């Protein structure tokens, strides 16, 4: 078997979509096995040394069943025999450990020293700086292919943003939600397909979440074939509104009801009023139809006009953004009234990025988040379906 060039062998990944974790495993294990054979022979490819103990003899395919499906590895061969890479045996004993190892590589900004320590601990072999760079380039290629994979018809589109600390030009861009400063914003998109399958669609990082960043992100989703969107669900992020109108045209927007209710609390003048205001808002969101919802809204506007004029004005200006859900099938409303479906995603990202503290650069931040999202999306693809067997087309 001729060992495939991993820079060009990702075409299958592009066609199949969400098999990123298995591809990451294949790339890393293949690289480590090559390094192990080089150490066994005590000579590199075509290298002539007195210490050489044998000769490389190509590769032999071996397909193994793993948690993420069947993977075909390229087993390095030695002409004189007697060699079998321990990296494969150890790697397959704990696939989860390998995924964690990849995440650790990203956490440490793919530091050569850290990658050496991690791979040696996992597979008993140390790799050089050049070999680390080659493996990282191959992994980046896989991640890029996943990032650019074709999409398709998506019924409901969810958008969210979070912030990470990244060192940029010697300075740390801190976590913040200010619309004017240069923060490192991470834009996320997930979606539900007509068959009820939920997937992570895309991610992007930039020094801000201003309109230009959102516009490029949304345009990228469309360029990858996203179409048929019936509703966009998000919070009122900076720059998103203008970008959404520019790229997604007349597609309706549902503002997250959970965050709307939280935002209303800022204009409640007295602590004693909070429970009453929250109950009034919940009554609107739980109303059976738009007519009843708007009736409750007008009643609340008048009710607080004197006792809480700022709250009354805020309700009138903002709360109707959360009513678009009323125009969709009743059985879908639980799914599309908030962005809480993204909470687990953000929780996982936050759990890993908190360990990092400050990313050494934007690329390392993106690598870690890509790796996490690929794994989450694969889990969703296997088991997370909604309204199974029913069409979500509105």
Of the three residues 147, 168, 194, the one that is the final residue of a domain is: 147
In a domain, 1, yes or no: no
List the alpha helices (DSSP H) in 74-128.
Answer: 86-93, 95-107, 112-123
Q: Which of 238, 284, 243, 295 is nearest to 261 (CA)?
A: 284
pLDDT at 377 over 60: yes
pLDDT over 70, % of the chain: 67
Does residue 233 contact residue 338 with C-beta atoms inside 8 Å?
A: yes
Specify the higher pLDDT residue, 18 or 236: 236
Instruction: Give 66-96 pLDDT, tens digit per residue.
Output: 655 678 888 888 887 778 787 665 444 434 4
Instruction: Give 160-175 pLDDT, tens digit per residue.
Output: 888 777 766 555 445 4
Of the three residues 115, 147, 179, the one that is the final residue of a domain is: 147
Residues 204 and 292 in one domain: yes
Of the three residues 88, 113, 147, the one that is the final residue of a domain is: 147
Residues sharing a CB contact under 8 Å with residue 54, sequence separation 6 or more, in sequence order: 40, 41, 78, 79, 80, 82, 83
Residues 72 and 187 in one domain: no
Domain containing residue 249: 156-383
Instruction: Give 177-208 pLDDT, tens digit per residue.
Output: 444 444 577 889 999 988 888 888 988 877 66
Residues 186 and 45 in one domain: no
In a domain, 389, yes or no: no
Beta bridge partner(s), residue 385: 197
Residues 19 and 167 in one domain: no
Read off the pLDDT band of 243 (50, 70, 90). very high
Instruction: Give 256-305 pLDDT, tens digit per residue.
Output: 999 998 888 888 888 889 999 999 999 999 998 999 999 999 999 999 99
Residues 206 and 97 in one domain: no
Which of 179-183, 202-206, 323-327, 368-372 is the least confident region?
A: 179-183
In a domain, 124, yes or no: yes
pLDDT at 104 over 60: no
Residues 96 and 177 in one domain: no
Whole-angstrom Cα distance, residue 31 to residue 137? 12
Number of domains forming the structure of the chain: 2
Residues 237 and 325 in one domain: yes
């Amino acid at each position: 078997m001729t060992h495939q060039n991993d820079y060009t062998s990702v075409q299958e990944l592009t066609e199949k979509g969400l098999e990123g974790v298995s591809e990451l495993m294949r790339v890393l294990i293949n690289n480590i096995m090559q390094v192990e054979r080089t150490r066994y022979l005590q000579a590199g490819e075509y290298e002539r040394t007195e210490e050489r103990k044998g000769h490389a003899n190509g590769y032999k395919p071996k397909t193994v069943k793993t948690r993420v499906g069947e993977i075909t590895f390229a087993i390095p061969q030695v002409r004189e025999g007697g060699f079998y890479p321990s990296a494969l045996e150890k790697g397959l004993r704990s696939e989860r450990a390998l995924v964690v190892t990849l995440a650790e590589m990203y956490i440490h900004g793919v530091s050569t020293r850290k990658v050496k320590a991690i791979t040696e601990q996992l597979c008993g072999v140390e790799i050089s700086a050049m070999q680390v760079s080659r493996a990282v380039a191959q992994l980046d290629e896989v991640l890029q292919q996943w990032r650019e994979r074709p999409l398709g018809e998506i019924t409901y589109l969810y958008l969210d943003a979070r912030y990470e600390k990244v060192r940029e030009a010697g300075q740390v861009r801190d976590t913040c939600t200010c619309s004017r400063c240069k923060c490192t914003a991470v834009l996320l998109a997930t979606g539900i397909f007509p068959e009820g399958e939920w997937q992570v669609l895309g991610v992007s990082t930039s020094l801000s979440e201003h309109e230009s960043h959102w516009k490029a992100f949304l345009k990228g989703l469309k360029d990858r074939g996203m179409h048929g969107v019936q509703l966009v669900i998000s919070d009122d992020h900076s720059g998103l509104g203008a970008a959404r109108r520019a790229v997604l045209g007349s597609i309706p927007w549902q503002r997250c009801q959970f965050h709307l209710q939280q935002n209303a609390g800022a204009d409640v003048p007295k602590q004693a009023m909070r429970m009453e205001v929250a109950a009034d808002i919940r009554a609107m969101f739980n109303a059976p139809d738009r007519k009843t919802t708007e009736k409750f809204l007008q009643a609340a506007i008048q009710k607080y006009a004197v006792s809480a004029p700022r709250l009354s004005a805020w309700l009138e200006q903002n709360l109707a953004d959360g009513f678009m859900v009323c125009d969709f099938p009743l059985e879908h409303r639980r799914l599309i009234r908030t962005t809480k479906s993204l909470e687990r995603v953000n929780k996982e990202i936050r759990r890993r990025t908190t360990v990092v503290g400050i990313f050494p650069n934007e690329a390392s931040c993106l690598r870690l988040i890509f790796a996490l999202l690929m794994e989450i999306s694969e889990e969703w693809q296997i088991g997370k379906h909604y309204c199974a067997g029913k069409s979500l087309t509105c």
